[in-house]
Amino acid sequence: MDKKVLPVIEFKNVGLSFDNNEILKNVSFEIEAGQFYTLLGPSGSGKSTILNLISGQLSADAGEILFDGKVINNIPAESRRVNTVFQNYALFPNMTVFDNVAFGPKLKKMPKDKIKAKVREMLALVKLEAFENRAIQELSGGQKQRVAIARALANEPDVLLLDEPLSALDYKLRKQMQSELRAIQKRLGITFIFVTHDQEEALAMSDWIFIMNDGKIQQNGTPVDIYDEPINHFVADFIGESNIVNGVMKQDYLVSFVNKDFENLDAGMKPNEPVEVVLRPEDLDLVPVEQGKLIVTIADQSFRGDFYEITAIDDDQNEWKVQATNPSTVGARVGLDFGPEDIHVMRFNESEDDFDARIESYEGE
Ligand SMILES: Nc1ncnc2c1ncn2[C@@H]1O[C@H](COP(=O)(O)OP(=O)(O)OP(=O)(O)O)[C@@H](O)[C@H]1O
Ligand SMILES: [Mg+2]
């Protein structure tokens, strides 16, 4: 994918408070044109606030917001080349599908034949060609959301903001809309900034993810990077299932946890630095006791369709979640096996910049 040198959107140390409550804290990031970005985080973490700052519904108390390299803090919402799709559709209930989608082009005084062509192109894009004359009340939730997407795209925004647009849809429809939205973004090549609190959705759809918590970006990166290398407890816990235990990094490539030493692939920390150790349930194997790196007792097991989720307890009472293809027996003593590459070590309170610097220094060796 071609990448422009200038980011299309940039936040520089943006802060925002409501009633002396700091909602966004010194937020900085860059958005490159033509990519699918996701803001992922729990309720109240500041995701919608960021979208509202980009669209101009809110203005920042501190810092700068740039669009195509120009500061837009004081540019009114209607002059910004962005549109938003909301979870509740926000359609005009008394207009037909056609008139909803034609709304923006009409405001811009586009010629009639062009409006017609534009609306038809947008309805084809969201697979609603046959629905032009339908009333909004006669549509399903999924169809309403398609109209909302077509209406936003008919304005030809540079950036489309999507605030939990799929959250009201049932599981199957949601999956389908995920891949359609992704395909629309790729086809049009415009920048999407998508908000969700669903980590699976974020991993499946995004080129790039920002993980938000408590008004701060905790980590940003590709889905694979974030999944494989979470930089702190919050991210490790929020993205996927994790086993997290305390440990000590004795020296480079040697970590100790549950009173045992293990070879691993991490380096660049102080000798005997306290750390948190993450092991993903899908990276753990249940083996006969004598082959195990740790010995555990099976405490619980549930069938999850394509795997068994097993909870096991070690002799220090740490709980280990394991995803296994074969069933086990509750109460059985078994071994837990994993390799050096499955052990992921996190420094306490490491910032993104510290993390990047540390990785770079030992990858360069
Ligand atoms: N107009 C407002 N006045 C006061 N506080 C607000 C206002 N808008 C948002 N907040 C607060 O700002 C914080 C961030 O809100 P925001 O809507 O950005 O969260 P979110 O990540 O989008 O959450 P959700 O997933 O629930 O939509 C919350 O604590 C919220 O209560
Ligand atoms: Mg929100």
In CATH, which superfamily holds the domain spanning 285-337? Nucleic acid-binding proteins (2.40.50.140)
State which ligand 1 atom lies nearest to the alpha carbon of 51.
Answer: 18
Distance 355 CA to ligand 2 centre (A): 28
Helices (H), the chain: 47-55, 97-107, 112-125, 141-153, 171-188, 199-205, 223-228, 233-238, 352-363
At 21-42, the pLDDT tens digits run 999 999 999 999 999 999 999 9
d(CA 122, CA 115): 10
What are 215's two structure tokens?
């008004």
Q: Which of 121, 69, 74, 64 is nearest to 98 (CA)?
A: 121
- The answer to whether the CB of 44 is under 6 A from ligand 1 is yes
Domain residue spans of the chain: 9-228, 241-280+340-365, 285-337
- Separation between Cα atoms, residue 68 and residue 175, nearest integer Å: 33
Which ligand is closest to the CA of 53, given by its number?
Answer: 1
pLDDT band at 199 (very low <50, low <70, confident <90, very high): very high
What's the CA gap between 252 and 264, in Å, rounded? 8
* Range 301-317 average pLDDT: 94
pLDDT of 351 over the 80 cut: no
Of 5, 75, 58, 60, residue with least CA distance to 28: 60
Ligand 1 near 92 CB (within 6 A): no
pLDDT grade for 5, boundaries at 50, 70 and 90: low
Give 303's pLDDT tier (boundaries 50, 70, 90). very high
Closest protein CA for atom 9 of ligand 1: 49
**Ligand of minimum distance to the alpha carbon of 197:** 1
Q: Which residues pair with 5 in a beta bridge?
A: none
- Which of 190, 183, 188, 218 has the alpha carbon at shortest distance from 204? 183
Nearest atom of ligand 1 to the alpha carbon of 212 = 21
Mean pLDDT value of segment 172-176: 92
pLDDT, position 356: 76
**Is 47's C-beta closer than 6 angstroms to any atom of ligand 1?**
yes
When mean pLDDT is compared over 6-10, 117-121, 164-168, the highest value belongs to 117-121
pLDDT(135) > 80: yes
pLDDT for position 364? 60
- pLDDT of 214 strictly over 60: yes
Q: What is the pLDDT of residue 194?
A: 97
pLDDT band with cut points at 50, 70 and 90 for residue 312: very high
Specify the pLDDT at position 151: 96
Listed in sequence order, the residues at least 6 apart from 130 whose beta carbon sits closer than 8 Å to its beta carbon are none
Q: What percent of the chain has pLDDT above 70?
A: 98
Nearest alpha carbon, ligand 1 atom 13: 44
pLDDT of res. 353: 74
Q: How far is the CA of 61 from the centre of ligand 1 (A)?
A: 16
The half-sphere exposure of 345 on its side-chain side, counting CA atoms within 13 A, is 29
**Of the bound ligands, which one is closest to the alpha carbon of residue 44?**
1
Distance 74 CA to ligand 1 centre (A): 22
Whose CA is closest to atom 19 on ligand 1? 44
What pLDDT score was predicted for residue 365? 54
Measured CA to CA, the distance from residue 42 to residue 108 in angstroms comes to 37
Question: If you average pLDDT over residues 313-341, what whole number do you get?
Answer: 95
pLDDT band at residue 261 using 50, 70 and 90 as cut-offs: very high
Report the pLDDT value the prediction gives residue 321, as an integer from 0 to 100.
97
Nearest ligand 1 atom to alpha carbon 18:
4
What is residue 88's predicted lDDT score, i.e. its pLDDT?
84
Mutation probe of ligand 1 site: the residue of 21, 38, 45 with most atoms within 8 A of C-beta? 45
Model pLDDT for residues 49-94, shown as the tens digit of each residue = 999 999 999 999 999 999 999 999 999 999 999 999 998 888 999 9
**44 CA → ligand 1 middle, Å:** 5
355 falls in which pLDDT band (50, 70, 90)?
A: confident
Q: Which residues contact 257 (CB under 8 A, 6 or more apart)?
A: 245, 246, 247, 248, 277
Distance (angstroms) between ligand 1 centre and the Cα of 48 equals 7
Ligand 1 in reach of 46 Cβ (< 6 A):
yes
What integer best gives the mean pLDDT of the chain? 93
Helix (H, G, I), strand (E, B) or coil at 205: helix
Which ligand 1 atom is nearest residue 197's CA? 25
Give the number of the atom of ligand 1 that is nearest the alpha carbon of residue 50.
Answer: 18
Establish whether residue 167 lines the binding site of ligand 1, counting it when its CB lies within 6 angstroms of any ligand atom: no
- Give the residue whose CA is nearest to atom 2 of ligand 1: 18
Superfamily of domain 9-228: P-loop containing nucleotide triphosphate hydrolases (3.40.50.300)
Which of 49, 161, 198, 216 to mutate to test ligand 1, by most ligand atoms within 8 A of the CB atom? 49
Residue with the smallest CA separation from ligand 1 atom 26 is 43
Q: Which ligand is nearest to the CA of 17?
A: 1
- Residue 242 Cα, ligand 2 centroid: separation in angstroms? 25
Mean pLDDT confidence for 196-222:
94
Q: What is the pLDDT of residues 281-298, one digit of tens each?
A: 999 999 999 999 999 999
